[in-house]
Structure 1
Amino acid sequence: MRLLNAHTLKLESFSSNIPPYVILSHTWSEGEVTFEDIDKPHAPYMPGYGKIKYCCEQAVSDGFEYVWIDTCCIDKRSSSELSEAINSMYRWYWDADICYAYLADVLSGEVTSRFGDSRWFTRGWTLQELLAPSVVEFYTSDWERIGTKSSLLDAVSYATGIEHGFLCDRRNVTHASIAERFSWASSRETTREEDTAYCLLGIFDINMPLLYGEGKKAFVRLQLELMKVSSDHSIFAWIGAQKTDCTVHRNCLSHSPTAFVSGGNIQTCGIRKGSSYAMTNRGIQIELPLWQDPNSPTLFLALLNCSFQGPRHTAERVGIWLKQSEEDNERYERLYVKLIERISVERTQQFGFRKIYLVGFEGALYDNIARKAPHIIRFTQFPADQDRYQVQFLGKKLIEPNPPTMMLEDLPELPLYDDATGLLLSNQTHRILIAFGILAGTFWLHLDPDCRNNDFSYGNIQNEAVDATDTDQSLLFRDCVTETLPGGGKIVVAAKKRRYGAILVWDLEVFVKRENVERSEELGME
């Protein structure tokens, strides 16, 4: 852990015996002093240097020698260090003696009117920075002390929607339901979409790798991690945000904390039969009390093991609507996502337990997993000049219908067994073959930047790849291939492996590097 010496403004590293320190909570703006800047001569002239200087002065005044500030104490050029820092940050705020919350948009004379409207209360990362420290002191933009989390309890609770008990005693946070904790983040924003999940890791005591570029999948992945350690059914008690037809929805997991905006009054009911659940290749395996709608053989109301807050014996239980799959009568999809039912204690007697599988993955990915395809190919990154190429699927017909040409952005997810397929990217001067498949249970990847073959049956694609690497078969089983393009430049194809249970998902990324361009032009697709 790096700490900034409050006297010298120099960074010092500690592996153990970490000295007492204070920590800064703030919102980022232009001109922040980073790890690379802090020891440079230009640092004092940067816009963000002032709050570092005054933070250190306040720390010295309070009797501390060290401070921790995220902008300059983390080397964000190192992905491993950034990942470790984000997974450790809640603990670092927890261990700090004092947290200074710097409200850059609140002047000393505006505290009464501006405090609750500060941008600080709208950012995702500041949520854990409010909850984790035992002492939080608020300061105006000119470093005038406003008060503490305790002395400003009513104002902080009103601004955040967090009940007094969780603000007064940080240990109580673990007793809040998943839905309630997500509700605290439902109106907060982050610069990067993935951070809506990553900023909540500490609040749920979850550690998971960071995959910037995965977008909204990060929040789904957080929920899957929560399901490994919790049996709290309130994770399913969310409301969709669709403004149009919302009668059909495939997933029982949400893509954003915003769906839990009404979850602040939902509490768990404790452990009971059927509380636990697990992720399987068929979906989320769970045993739930169900009530069948007498007017529809496939419409069911599911009783979750959570309730709306109220006296124990009168609190209403939470129910969600499910639709039974026509292909698999044990598989159920979420229905009427804008509706959460209130079920009285008396009505719960009408429900009967049933073991079911809830759809938890999205779209084709779940369908492929349900079919138990051992490998799935997804296309996640394409060159910005993709419109220069026509795209054609080759070999085994994996798509129905299989159009002769399509854009790269239209490529679907593909299930692979022991077979092969390929893409042919054609323009006026050359054709690029990107071939991939499964050979003896192992993923292989082959790239031909100037393909001249006109016969692309299933066997020929695989044979061509094998023949091309005949002198060194290990070249076939690579996860990254780079070749020189006719006329100059390079094409890079990389495969990133992810695992979903027993399923391996390969995310293919295609980059084109032109000789007259210093960096690769890319277009990211989710």
Structure 2
Amino acid sequence: MWLIDTTLLELRCHVTVPHSYAILSHTWTEEEEVSFQEFHDIEARRKKDGFAKITAACELARLRGLKWCWVDTCCIDKTSSAELSEAINSMFRWYKESAVCFAYLRDLLPDGEKTGGDFDQDLAGCAWFWRGWTLQELIAPRTLEFFDKDWNMRGTKTELINTLHNITGVSTQVLENSDCLGETPAGTRMSWAADRQTKRVEDIAYCLLGIFDIYMPLIYGEGERAFSRLQQEIIKEKHDLSIFAWKAEPNGQKFRGLLARCPSEFRHCRDVQVSYQLRMTTEYSITNRGIQLHTLLGTDDAGNYLLPLGCILRDPCSQDSKKQALLDGKDSIGVYLKKAPNYGLVRAYPDKLHTYRGWTSSMIQQHGKKRIHSPQDLAAYDCSLIDEQHRLSIRLGESNFPFKINSTGPDYSWDANSQTFITMADQRFTGYCRLRITTSRRSSFDCVLVCGLMRIPSIDKNSVKVNDEGLHVRAWCSIFSSSSTMWAELSDLTKRHEPQDLMNLRNTVDKKCGKSDSDRCVSETSTEIVLASVSAEKEQDHGIWFFRINVSVDCMPRRPQKRARDD
């Protein structure tokens, strides 16, 4: 650690950090600042306007009886990537361990030069409150003093604590003691940087390392990936689902991964609180498939999955709202997920959060915990592919008798929540459902529903155009009961989920029955004769074509047979 001797104005290298030193916090003007190399040249440094604030900070430190002072412009050899990385990863600790931090606000005019407005407004207008790096310089120091353009002290962090909270959103508890950061949700900490700016894209992530007590290598040139890496490190170190509580800007991508792209997407998280009553036991980790979670999932009526985040959004102006939310889970938040083959579950409606009153025991029992994975992020190209995957889906519609789905295939394309096969617009797609249809309290029967897509002329009323080359497809469906001569063969083929088995299933049905958009089968018992019918037709939802297969069942009771009379 390089420090300036406040008397000699010379740089000295310290292997261990001294017990007492001052530190300067300020906003940079690149052409004015004195670099590490320039500081060693007395004539060169005097020509720089930035040297004046260095000498002023050293003078203040010397008057406090401090021999050493640290200034980021000249105390880091930025030509050494190793030294730069060490300094940035250690900077929060250096500010925290300083005896005093001087915050120099060069755009804060002295009292005699004020042009109007009160002090709080003048303070809030200073660039120091909108730079990324100064966030940790506000939070970390135990003693922080603010100085105006002429180095007049205008107050301390303790004296201005409520004003600083109103300007920055940082809680007064954290301003009083940075050790409280560990109790602050990740989403809230991110929100403090929502409106802050850095000159380099990567620095918006690097300036938050100390806020999250994270250490990671610096890779200038990686761009927005730096913020993604920061979130990955937070996930590895912390168990805090509020890291997923971001919201994208409206009218952006239709689908996203689970990670945010910048702190501004956490702007609404300033008042996020962990909901301790919702004792979520979600486990999550970074894998080569993205983010893997073992978690409780809910569902909604629109075919989405709901991932609860174990935290609440409250009205910061209402203490009653806060109390009530903690009691009954009101305003607890979650995110919408949708199944996408080859991607797992992706974030749907990324500009929205789902709010709910809490998970009832019946909902937990119904859905249980599941192991899922979700991508970290998605490009616009991925979104178009996912849209294409959901186009021409085959949905299982309603039935006049209840049925239970015992098994389906292929697993990767079946969405149990919406009872939909995601066909990926593949004209050779084939899927199946093993159904148990209940016709009365005492009677039920098993059947296999096989369906898929097939190429068809455009004149067919149920055909849908696939691409610009004029290819049209429609859905086909066949249904078989246990009395069918094909039952044993179909049962064998639907026990395995390999692509070749599904192809054999398609070929078997095509060879013996043909492919049509309707079919029926018969099941007979001692009390009734059941006729099960299926039919497929195209439908449109929000401009997207899909196919729906309806199941209808007709029951005819058997007449009791008369006993033969004895002769």
TM-score, structure 1 normalization: 0.66
Q: Distance in 1 between matches of 2:105 and 2:362?
A: 52
Q: Distance in 2 between matches of 1:213 and 1:35?
A: 22
Residue aligning to 1:187? 195
In structure 2, relative to structure 1, the CA distance for the partners of 1:348 and 1:58 (3 Å cut) is farther
Q: Distance in 2 between matches of 1:204 and 1:10?
A: 33
Residue aligning to 1:120? 128
Q: Distance in 2 between matches of 1:355 and 1:22?
A: 51
The sequence identity of aligned pairs, in percent, is 38
After TM superposition, the structure 1 stretch with the greater mean CA deviation from structure 2, 59-68 or 283-292, is 283-292
Q: How big is each residue's C-alpha offset from its partner over 1:421-479, in whole Å with a ceiling of 9 and x where there is no partner?
A: xxxxxxxxxxxxxxxxxxxxxxxxxxxxxxxxxxxxxxxxxxxxxxxxxxxxxxxxxxx
SS at match of 2:36: coil
**2:52 aligned to 46, 50, 53, which one?**
50
Residue aligning to 1:410? none
In structure 2, relative to structure 1, the CA distance for the partners of 1:3 and 1:188 (3 Å cut) is same
Q: How big is each residue's C-alpha offset from its partner over 1:369-393, in whole Å with a ceiling of 9 and x where there is no partner?
A: xxxxxxxxxxxxxxxxxxxxxxxxx
Residue aligning to 1:233? 241
> Which residues of structure 1 form unaligned runs of 5+?
368-526
**1:303 aligned to 297, 303, 308, which one?**
308
In structure 2, relative to structure 1, the CA distance for the partners of 1:364 and 1:280 (3 Å cut) is farther
Residue aligning to 2:294? 287
Query: What is the identity, as a one-letter code, of the residue corresponding to 1:108?
Result: P
Cα offset, 1:63, TM superposition: 1.6
In structure 2, relative to structure 1, the CA distance for the partners of 1:365 and 1:37 (3 Å cut) is farther
SS at match of 1:334: strand
In structure 2, relative to structure 1, the CA distance for the partners of 1:63 and 1:356 (3 Å cut) is same
Q: Is the 8 A contact 1:131 1:170 kept in 2?
A: yes
Q: Distance in 2 between matches of 1:66 and 1:295?
A: 63
Cα offset, 1:47, TM superposition: 0.8
In structure 2, relative to structure 1, the CA distance for the partners of 1:345 and 1:208 (3 Å cut) is same
Cα offset, 1:18, TM superposition: 1.6
After TM superposition, the structure 1 stretch with the greater mean CA deviation from structure 2, 311-320 or 211-220, is 311-320
Q: Is the 8 A contact 1:179 1:266 kept in 2?
A: yes
Q: Distance in 2 between matches of 1:186 and 1:153?
A: 20
In structure 2, relative to structure 1, the CA distance for the partners of 1:348 and 1:84 (3 Å cut) is farther
In structure 2, relative to structure 1, the CA distance for the partners of 1:134 and 1:165 (3 Å cut) is same
Q: Distance in 1 between matches of 2:153 and 2:81?
A: 36
Residue aligning to 1:69? 71
Residue aligning to 2:208? 200
Q: Is the 8 A contact 2:135 2:193 kept in 1?
A: yes
Query: What is the identity, as a one-letter code, of the residue corresponding to 2:358?
Result: V
Q: Is the 8 A contact 1:288 1:304 kept in 2?
A: no
Q: Is the 8 A contact 2:187 2:266 kept in 1?
A: yes
Residue aligning to 1:324? 339
In structure 2, relative to structure 1, the CA distance for the partners of 1:62 and 1:366 (3 Å cut) is farther
Q: Is the 8 A contact 1:117 1:159 kept in 2?
A: no
Cα offset, 1:274, TM superposition: 3.4
Q: Is the 8 A contact 2:283 2:295 kept in 1?
A: no
Q: Is the 8 A contact 2:274 2:311 kept in 1?
A: yes
Query: What is the identity, as a one-letter code, of the residue corresponding to 2:128?
Result: W
Residue aligning to 1:427? none
Query: What is the identity, as a one-letter code, of the residue corresponding to 2:339?
Result: Q
Query: What is the identity, as a one-letter code, of the residue corresponding to 2:173?
Result: G
Q: Distance in 2 between matches of 1:131 and 1:10?
A: 29
In structure 2, relative to structure 1, the CA distance for the partners of 1:86 and 1:346 (3 Å cut) is closer
Q: Is the 8 A contact 2:280 2:310 kept in 1?
A: no
Q: Which has the larger radius of gyration?
A: 2
Residue aligning to 2:153? 145
In structure 2, relative to structure 1, the CA distance for the partners of 1:17 and 1:87 (3 Å cut) is closer
Q: Distance in 1 between matches of 2:222 and 2:295?
A: 31
SS at match of 2:328: coil
SS at match of 1:333: strand
**1:334 aligned to 334, 338, 347, which one?**
347
In structure 2, relative to structure 1, the CA distance for the partners of 1:281 and 1:365 (3 Å cut) is farther
> Which residues of structure 2 form unaligned runs of 5+?
315-321, 384-567
RMSD of aligned C-alpha atoms? 2.1
Residue aligning to 1:93? 95
In structure 2, relative to structure 1, the CA distance for the partners of 1:323 and 1:181 (3 Å cut) is same
Residue aligning to 1:7? 7
Q: Is the 8 A contact 1:96 1:133 kept in 2?
A: yes
Q: Is the 8 A contact 1:87 1:201 kept in 2?
A: yes
Alignment of 1:411-426 (within 5 A): none
SS at match of 2:145: strand
**2:263 aligned to 233, 257, 269, which one?**
257
Residue aligning to 2:163? 155
Q: Distance in 1 between matches of 2:93 and 2:252?
A: 43
Q: Is the 8 A contact 2:191 2:264 kept in 1?
A: yes
Residue aligning to 1:215? 223
User: How many residues end up aligned between the 2 structures?
Assistant: 361
SS at match of 1:84: helix
Query: What is the identity, as a one-letter code, of the residue corresponding to 1:358?
Result: S
Q: How big is each residue's C-alpha offset from its partner over 1:276-304, in whole Å with a ceiling of 9 and x where there is no partner?
A: 211122221112322222343xx212211
Q: Is the 8 A contact 1:31 1:48 kept in 2?
A: yes
Q: Distance in 1 between matches of 2:338 and 2:102?
A: 50
